[in-house]
Amino acid sequence: MTTADCQFTQVPYTPSEIQHHYGPKVHILRDPLSLSLLAKLCAQGTVQPEVNRLLVELYRVLVHEVVAAEFPRELASVPTRMIEATPHGVYTGELIARHTPAVVVALARAGLLPSQVSYDFLNQVLEPAGVRQDHLALGRTLDTDGRVTGAGLYASKIGGGVSNAMMLIPDPMGATGSTVSRVLRHYSQEVGGTPGKVLAVHLIVTPEYLRHVTTHHPEVSVYALRLDRGLSSPEVLATTPGTHWERERGLTEHHYIVPGGGGLGEVINNSFV
């Protein structure tokens, strides 16, 4: 039996995040490399196949942070290749608990590739038998003036319950919060069970999205690479995010994010409808 090195017995992890006043469930990463790649993804003129390559890289970063910060741990011992030379060839320390159940929710259209990246990542970290990917086809519902009124659910393929599972909702653009609401309502009404955690994982979020989610779904933890509030006044933009939350704006009247990246679902699929 080897003696565990104290440096590995507890491995607390806190992502580097911007300062804000949106509450403890909101995590907006402070990562200049990811911001650079995201700026390239959203730039006018960036098209396929570069779009998908950037999307994959960015979601691997996001899921890494989510798993490291949120997933359960366990103390484990793993023999290394040096076990043949010495009985001390064993790593003992805190690792991600491999038998943690996880469910990734794939949202058509923009969320399909992010969900696949997340699902593949989790299968490397956890026991694959406990990792599942569900599929939901959602779309914006609009009023006669073209304003978003919510999210409609048109089809779903769900492979089981979600009790005690880590539930990831990878959706690139967190604009209004209606998608998260519709997803959670469907699981609550049609599937049942309480997830261990609900983790909404985005490239970009708006103040309007954060207000909706923190108000209506306080159990949800939000992770994002960037906060966009580009329609706020210069005075508001000069303050720490959330200081004047009621005056922050990141959405046009048709609920597109500014500065944003346009309709990412359209760009990903090269289908502008």
Domains of the chain: which residue ranges? Answer: 15-269
Whole-angstrom distance, CA of residue 119 vs CA of residue 137:
17
pLDDT band at 139 (very low <50, low <70, confident <90, very high): confident
Beta bridge partners of 183: none
pLDDT at 19 over 90: yes
pLDDT band at 124 (very low <50, low <70, confident <90, very high): very high
φ/ψ of 239, rounded to 5, equals -110, 160
Give the burial class of 27: count Cβ atoms within 10 A of its Cβ; 0-12 exposed, 13-18 middle, 19 or more buried.
buried
CATH code for residues 15-269:
3.40.50.2020
Whole-angstrom distance, CA of residue 273 vs CA of residue 209:
23
User: What pLDDT shows up at residue 152?
Assistant: 73
Residue 39 makes CB contacts below 8 A (sequence gap 6+) with none
Whole-angstrom distance, CA of residue 50 vs CA of residue 47:
6
User: What pLDDT shows up at residue 170?
Assistant: 98
pLDDT at 142 over 90: no
- pLDDT averaged over the chain? 94
User: Where is average pLDDT lowest: 1-10, 131-140, 218-227?
Assistant: 1-10
Q: Which of 1, 191, 69, 175 is nearest to 183 (CA)?
A: 191
Tell if the pTM clears 0.85, that is, is over it.
Answer: yes
For helices 50-70 and 112-125, give the axis angle rounded to 10 degrees. 50
Task: Express each pLDDT in 181-222 by its tens digit.
Answer: 999 999 999 998 999 999 999 999 999 999 999 999 999 999
Mean pLDDT within 74-92: 95
Whole-angstrom distance, CA of residue 157 vs CA of residue 39:
33
Higher pLDDT, 84 or 151: 84
pLDDT at 173 over 70: yes
Q: Report in angstroms the alpha-carbon separations of 142 from 115, 145, 166, 209.
A: 25, 8, 32, 17
Q: Is the peptide bond before 12 cis (omega within 30 degrees of 0)?
A: no
pLDDT at 44 over 60: yes
